[in-house]
Amino acid sequence: MADRTSTAGKNADEDQLLASITGDLAWEIVQDFSTINRESGSRGEQEAADLIVETLEQKGVPVTVLRPTLLLSVPRRASVTVGGREFHAKTPAFSVSTGESGSAGRLVYLPGAFAQGHDDLFDSGFSSQAPEVAGTVVITEGLPLPQKVLDVESLGARAAIFVNPGERIHEAICTPVWGGPDWQNKDRQPQIPVLAVNRKDGETLIGIAKDQPGSPVEVVTVLEKGLFDCPLPVVEIPAEGAEAADFVLLHGHLDSWHFGVGDNAVGNGAMVELAVRFWERRSQLRRGIRLAWWPGHSPGRYAGSTWYADMFGVELAERCVAQVNCDSPGCRWATAFSGMSWTPEMAAFTKEVIHDVTGLTASGERPPRAGDWSFNNLGVSGTLMLSSTMPEDVRQVKGYYGVGGCGGNIEWHTEADTLEIADRQLLQRDMQVYGAVVWRLAADPVLPMDFRAAAADMQKAVRGYQEAVGERFDLRPVLTVLDELASSLGQLYGAMEELPTQKVNGTLKRLSRLLVRLHFAADEQFRQDPALQVPPMPMLAWAETVAALSPESMDSFYAVNSLMRGRNRAVFELREASRVIDDLLKNDA
Ligand SMILES: [Zn+2]
């Protein structure tokens, strides 16, 4: 283990836990999984779940396998044919399936720098200069992400081909619907066939589209879409005492694209070994630990974790103190902890743990709406989405473009994500980080969230919105209640050591429900925001919409109404947060 310079949070129990995390058991799982294609809904995924269950039971850890029915869209085959030449292609999950007969159209190039605007910002910025693409097959640069697919759809394209940045075509998913659709969002699934080609073929196709705009093109997308029964293993590690009903959720996706070693056999193995180590030390826990391996991540847009958030929604809202996602730890060359994800109140805590365990300084940011974080609407504080990553200078020397996993290795989401992407030593180190994060959340007397950081982050966002909207809308009422909240939080953290621990933790949990929801979710508590980027305090992001519209327009009238409703929600719920703190301070003064 690396030199531990800080003593905060450090104790003998944790030291023993970390010393017991060798990575040996995790590595067995990684090696086994490296030969199993764990596509969700397939026999491979079931085999992987069986192996997890078998390994845990051999070590005496009880495990339950839930069997959700998930809506999946599994890509099978795709091709693009122009002028008699067929180009290799892939189709992302939830593309429309043309079937083998394909779909014919005319090829038009749409240059690729799309605005990544607010979900409901109807003018995406490129439509005014875009060529006429209605009824055509569009070719454009980038990965087929939901926002881009929505943009192309809104221009009336009949199909879209995306040019990947490199030699390999990355598997992807293009639906903006988070998890299993419900009645309200079922019609938001993509309405056109979507394809991806590699850089070289893409450049050839763009050349054809530029030289002879409207060239005849045929696209084929074959996907298997339907309901699949999938395995979802869960381990519940019980605690004893007054806070035993509460728990920490450690989770990661079980299914993969292809052999998916870096994404996410390493995470699966890490969680198996951690489950065993936590189980051995369960008598030292103040809160429970729940571990879950999700199916339906890749071809279901986090369908497994969303199903769990539905089935156990009330329990999670009442008892889950924090969620920790384990995806792509211990990958090749991933020696840095940068670009980490955490809700603001978890930032200082997570950085401290990473420093204590590795001696390294971590940096992070607001989490993207991704990575099985299906618990934002419930209001659960979270940390870690992806794990360590390769340092920026290493990435540049290698000429790598950005990817969403595998520690920055561009084999991510391809057939090449095999055993060489995993690094056994780095995996052990990252497991110790996960081990210490979860351990402190479950064993420390006082929960580690610092909501002063959340309030400060909200203040920054609201000031930005006020600046954008100017005199057309007054956000000062929100800033006033945020000042009041900051002052209440100051008193809470100042008095914390004298207050009864269990009550403090209850208060922190209630603050988590209120503030995480306000900062990360626009929709209701027991629904899911779409898989599109959620801006800070999303109910106030209408300020940017208002700012972009002419004050005389009807649209401006509508957007101001949305902003007014957002302001009411923000003021009311922020005051509620202050009241929660004041109640505790008053009753225990
Ligand atoms: Zn992943």
Alpha carbon of 126 to ligand 1 centroid (Å): 31
Q: Which residue has the tokens 């991933």?
A: 334
Alpha carbon of 397 to ligand 1 centroid (Å): 24
In angstroms, rounded to a whole number, what is the distance separating the alpha carbons of residues 126 and 136?
A: 17
In a domain, 511, yes or no: yes
Alpha carbon of 298 to ligand 1 centroid (Å): 8
Strand-pair partners of 234: 64, 292
Alpha carbon of 276 to ligand 1 centroid (Å): 22
Alpha carbon of 405 to ligand 1 centroid (Å): 6
Alpha carbon of 253 to ligand 1 centroid (Å): 7
> Which residues lie closer than 8 Å to 241 by C-beta, 6 or more apart?
286
In angstroms, rounded to a whole number, what is the distance separating the alpha carbons of residues 446 and 418?
A: 41
> Which residues lie closer than 8 Å to 130 by C-beta, 6 or more apart?
110, 155
Nearest to 86 by CA among 221, 218, 222, 223: 218
In a domain, 7, yes or no: no
Residues 235 and 378 in one domain: yes
Alpha carbon of 221 to ligand 1 centroid (Å): 24
Residues 345 and 295 in one domain: yes
Number of domains in the chain: 3
Residues 139 and 23 in one domain: no
Alpha carbon of 163 to ligand 1 centroid (Å): 22
DSSP string covering 67-90:
--EEEEEEEEEEEEEETTEEEE-B
In a domain, 3, yes or no: no
Give the domain range for residue 557: 451-587
Alpha carbon of 263 to ligand 1 centroid (Å): 5
Q: Report pLDDT for 125.
A: 42
Alpha carbon of 371 to ligand 1 centroid (Å): 7
By residue count, the chain amounts to 589
Residues 286 and 327 in one domain: yes
Q: Which of 225, 241, 263 is the last residue of a domain?
A: 225
DSSP string covering 179-240:
SS--TTTGGGS--S-EEEE-HHHHHHHHHHHHHSTTEEEEEEEEEEEEEEE--EEEEEE---
Confirm if 95 and 190 have CB atoms less than 8 A apart.
Answer: yes
> Which residues lie closer than 8 Å to 453 by C-beta, 6 or more apart?
344, 345, 347, 348
Residues 278 and 427 in one domain: yes
Q: Report pLDDT for 116.
A: 37
Alpha carbon of 329 to ligand 1 centroid (Å): 10
> Which residues lie closer than 8 Å to 516 by C-beta, 6 or more apart?
343, 376, 379, 380, 381, 382, 454
Give CA separation, 256 vs 65, 245, 380, 412, in Å. 18, 32, 26, 10
Alpha carbon of 487 to ligand 1 centroid (Å): 39
Residues 479 and 388 in one domain: no
> pLDDT tens digits, the chain, 589 residues: what are they?
333 444 445 789 999 999 999 999 999 999 999 999 999 999 999 999 999 999 999 999 999 999 999 999 999 999 999 999 999 999 999 999 999 999 999 999 999 853 333 333 333 445 556 778 999 999 999 999 999 999 999 999 999 999 999 999 999 999 999 999 999 999 999 999 999 999 999 999 999 999 999 999 999 999 999 999 999 999 999 999 999 999 999 999 999 999 999 999 999 999 999 999 999 999 999 999 999 999 999 999 999 999 999 999 999 999 999 999 999 999 999 999 999 999 999 999 999 999 999 999 999 999 999 999 999 999 999 999 999 999 999 999 999 999 999 999 999 999 999 999 999 999 999 999 999 999 999 999 999 999 999 999 999 999 999 999 999 999 999 999 999 999 999 999 999 999 999 999 999 999 999 999 999 999 999 999 999 999 999 999 999 999 999 999 999 999 999 999 999 999 999 999 999 999 999 986 5
In a domain, 2, yes or no: no
Alpha carbon of 40 to ligand 1 centroid (Å): 13
Residues 78 and 62 in one domain: no
Residue 197: left if φ>0, alpha if ψ -120 to 50, beta else—which one?
A: beta
Alpha carbon of 137 to ligand 1 centroid (Å): 30
Alpha carbon of 161 to ligand 1 centroid (Å): 24
Alpha carbon of 330 to ligand 1 centroid (Å): 13
Residues 76 and 64 in one domain: no
Alpha carbon of 300 to ligand 1 centroid (Å): 13
Residues 102 and 117 in one domain: yes
Residues 253 and 315 in one domain: yes
Q: Report pLDDT for 129.
A: 62
Residues 195 and 219 in one domain: yes
In a domain, 6, yes or no: no
Give CA separation, 515 vs 7, 89, 289, 450, 485, in Å. 30, 43, 23, 12, 11
Element holding 358 (H helix, E strand): helix 347-358
Alpha carbon of 204 to ligand 1 centroid (Å): 31
Confirm if 168 and 198 have CB atoms less than 8 A apart.
Answer: yes
Alpha carbon of 337 to ligand 1 centroid (Å): 17
Sign, CA torsion 18/22/28/34: positive
Q: Report pLDDT for 119.
A: 36
Token pair of 562 as six digits: 């949305």
Alpha carbon of 242 to ligand 1 centroid (Å): 35
Residues 62 and 132 in one domain: no
In angstroms, rounded to a whole number, what is the distance separating the alpha carbons of residues 475 and 118?
A: 19
Alpha carbon of 340 to ligand 1 centroid (Å): 14
Alpha carbon of 563 to ligand 1 centroid (Å): 35
Alpha carbon of 500 to ligand 1 centroid (Å): 40
CA 494 to centroid of chain Cα atoms: 33
Alpha carbon of 410 to ligand 1 centroid (Å): 13
Alpha carbon of 155 to ligand 1 centroid (Å): 31
Q: Report pLDDT for 1.
A: 36
Alpha carbon of 467 to ligand 1 centroid (Å): 37
Q: Which of 443, 477, 505 is the last residue of a domain?
A: 443
Alpha carbon of 14 to ligand 1 centroid (Å): 28
Q: Which of 207, 225, 243 is the last residue of a domain?
A: 225
Alpha carbon of 168 to ligand 1 centroid (Å): 18
In a domain, 536, yes or no: yes
CATH number of the domain residue 243 falls in: 3.40.630.10
Alpha carbon of 368 to ligand 1 centroid (Å): 13
In a domain, 175, yes or no: yes
CATH number of the domain residue 86 falls in: 3.50.30.30
In a domain, 335, yes or no: yes
Confirm if 119 and 182 have CB atoms less than 8 A apart.
Answer: no
Token pair of 351 as six digits: 């950085």
